[in-house]
Amino acid sequence: MEILNVNDIRKTYTSRFGAQQVQALKGVTFSVEKGEYVAIMGESGSGKTTLLNILAALDKPTGGKVILDGMELSGIKESELAVFRRNNLGFVFQEFNLLDTFSLKDNILLPLVLGGEMKLAEMTGRLNEIASRLGISEILNKYPYEVSGGQKQRAAVARALITDPKLILADEPTGALDSRSSSDLLQMFSQINRNGQTILMVTHSVDAASHAGRVLFIRDGVVFHQIYRGDCSNEQLYRKISDTLTLLRTGGDKQ
């Protein structure tokens, strides 16, 4: 079952004084099945961040359509976008984006509190289940500045999961973590995906991408190539990704 359809997405930016137009995306097309784990890679300036902002309904394309679970994003009223994002999307950021004046517990519960539709007992039950699964039950009353980067990112993942989103969008989720914390997070993502959660991750990390089931490569604003995991191990997929990135850097054609 298709959960996300990205059809011929184009994005053109006009310079400050209107003298120049820059095409960040030139016609990106792909789809994501429910339960898939997809990574998006590409050189800086390839359009990855622009694409992620459009998928997150934080920016609008110049042309094309994004359809999430049957709903076209461009058809959502501006006044309803925040509610749509909160109900359908979970976000994991490189810099965690946790509020230092809130405990980890309150940071995780914030999307549900803002929704205002769930009783406290149900919120607490959902929090405890997710916190236990992610191994952060013992630190829920601590504040972000009191815990490690890896623990912050686990709390950020819990916050993304708390609304039971249709899709998790992860933007360089391992970028601010050390190698041990990165490895722990990637194993956690894989487990979350095995439990049925759909994940779309933008990353520069070959290691992070090698945990996905499919890797899309963007070059010059279009999808240049994609790799499916198939029967590959993480190590084998890592080598395939590295070879494709070499093609990207050297301007070669896909194999």
Question: Does residue 7 register a pLDDT over 50?
Answer: yes
As a whole number, mean pLDDT of residues 85-106 equals: 91
User: Listing from the earlier edge strand, what are the strands of the sheet with 37-41?
Assistant: 89-93, 167-171, 199-202, 37-41, 214-219, 222-228
Q: Residue 255 — very low, low, confident or very high, per pLDDT cuts 50/70/90? A: very low
- SS3 string, the chain, reads CEEEEEEEEEEEEECCCCCCEEEEEEEEEEEEECCCEEEEECCCCCCHHHHHHHHCCCCCCCEEEEEECCEEHHHCCHHHHHHHHHHHEEEEECCCCCCCCCCHHHHHHHHHHHHCCCCHHHHHHHHHHHHHHHCCHHHCCCCHHHCCHHHHHHHHHHHHHCCCCCEEEEECCCCCCCHHHHHHHHHHHHHHHHCCCCEEEECCCHHHHCCCCEEEEEECCEEEEEEECCCCCHHHHHHHHHHHHHHHHHCCCCC
230 conformational bin, left if phi > 0, alpha if psi -120 to 50, beta if neither: left
pLDDT at 139: 96
List, as own/partner pairs, every contact residues 17-25 make where C-beta atoms lie below 8 angstroms and the sequence separation is at least 24, other chains included: 23/221, 24/50, 24/221, 25/50, 25/51, 25/54, 25/61, 25/221, 25/222
Instruction: Return the minimum-mean-pLDDT range out of 16-20, 138-142, 208-212, 223-227.
Output: 16-20
CA dist list (Å): 88 to 38, 52, 103: 17, 15, 24
Could you tell me which of 251, 241, 221, 254 has the C-alpha nearest to residue 29? 221
Name the more confident of 46 and 145. 145
pLDDT at 201: 96
pLDDT digits (tens, 9 = 90+) for 132-191: 999 999 999 999 999 999 999 999 999 999 999 999 999 999 988 889 989 999 999 999
Question: For the chain, what is the mean pLDDT?
Answer: 91
pLDDT at 22: 83
pLDDT digits (tens, 9 = 90+) for 220-244: 899 999 999 999 999 999 999 999 9
CA neighbours within 13 Å on the CB side: how many for 41? 27
Name the pTM for this structure.
0.92
pLDDT at 78: 85
